Amino acid sequence: MPSVALPGEKAELIERTVAFQGHFRMARYRFRHTLYLGGQSDEISREVFERGRAAAVLPYDPVRDEVVLIRQFRAGTFSAGRHPWCWEIVAGMIEEGEAPADVARREAVEEAAVQILDLLPLYSLVLSPGACSETCDIFLGRIDACGVGGIHGLVSENEDILVQAMPFTEACALLARDEIDNSAAVIALQWLALHRDELRSRWG
């Protein structure tokens, strides 16, 4: 759910211009906003990486107590000086007219060759609110993990995705060793750690 405004919190857009348009878009915003001590801020100029809306899903088999994680090369992680292959959960961008749940189901098939049997919404987040407009709707998806794994992804999008089903305890061990640094994956796995018994009782 989007953040709810507190009394007096208002922002005014003065101007938006596109500063760069390539594979991604950077826009320059000029705005002012109210101050907690009263009055208004000076005019502020900020560049924002306009990324759009994403949907992500952690596939989970409650009978086998296994999750499905994916691993692929990431340019952003590479530029941050980290090892650029990351453990993640399935995710994709939401196109015009699409529902987040439909994208989660579609991407599960495209990226991991797995069918989502039930879908549970967890959170709707702004991933990096100081610099990027990207939002992400995170889901947990019930699956049958039998036979899941291999190399998947769309060749037309240059995807080379390693798919691995693993015991939930193994995924938690990766998390504890700080080997999962993708925010959506960390959030979904921690949610599952808190609610796993209840979920296995409901879905098992």
State the catalytic residues: 157
Alpha-carbon 197 to chain mean position: 24
Beta strands (DSSP E) in 22-148 are 25-33, 44-50, 53-61, 66-73, 85-88, 90-93, 118-126, 135-142
- In order of 9, 15, 35, 130, the CA distances from 42 in angstroms are 15, 14, 10, 18
In this structure, which amino acid lies at residue 139? Answer: F
The residues that bridge with 60 in the sheet, in sequence order, are: 67, 142
Question: Distance (Å, rounded) from C-alpha 124 to C-alpha 144?
Answer: 25
Burial (CB < 10 A; 0-12, 13-18, 19+), residue 204, is exposed
Determine the Cα angle at 119 with ends 115 and 123, to 5°.
Answer: 130
- Dig out the tokens for 167 from the structure: 């015991």
Q: Which 3 state secondary structure label does DSSP give 123?
A: strand
